[in-house]
Structure 1
Amino acid sequence: MYCHNSITRHLIRGLSALMLIIGVFVFQLSLFIKLLFVICAFFLLRGCPACWFLNLINKLQTNKGE
């Protein structure tokens, strides 16, 4: 799993990906731009949203133990 040193960076990546995904549905963009938004969101999340969320939970548990 990909774990950053900072939970803040992890949350910023997730928020950025969420904004891109929302932008696909809200704005009237060309198909190419929508595809670009989805690909960028996929790379920001480093996979599926569920994997990103599980990684966040794992990081939170790791920080509690320190």
Structure 2
Amino acid sequence: MFLDRLRNANPNSAYVIESFDVIALYTNVSNDSAFQAAHELLIQHQAAQMVYKLREASGIAEARGP
């Protein structure tokens, strides 16, 4: 499902797609800890993107981007 969404995504030049292998990158970190850290960062970043989109929709978008 996630890979299908990526394949069908039509991003514009303002966005960057990055991928991290949280399983093999740091073998001394437990998988659960790595997934938890990645999840927390995604949740934190999701909130920042929502705030930016609200500002953009109201016409007060900041120049620095999402």
TM-score range, shorter chain: 0.3 to 0.5
Structure with greater contact order relative to length (CA < 8 Å, sep ≥ 6): 1
> Would you tell me which structure has more helix in proportion to its own residues?
1
Give the TM-score taking structure 2 as reference length: 0.32
Give the TM-score taking structure 1 as reference length: 0.32
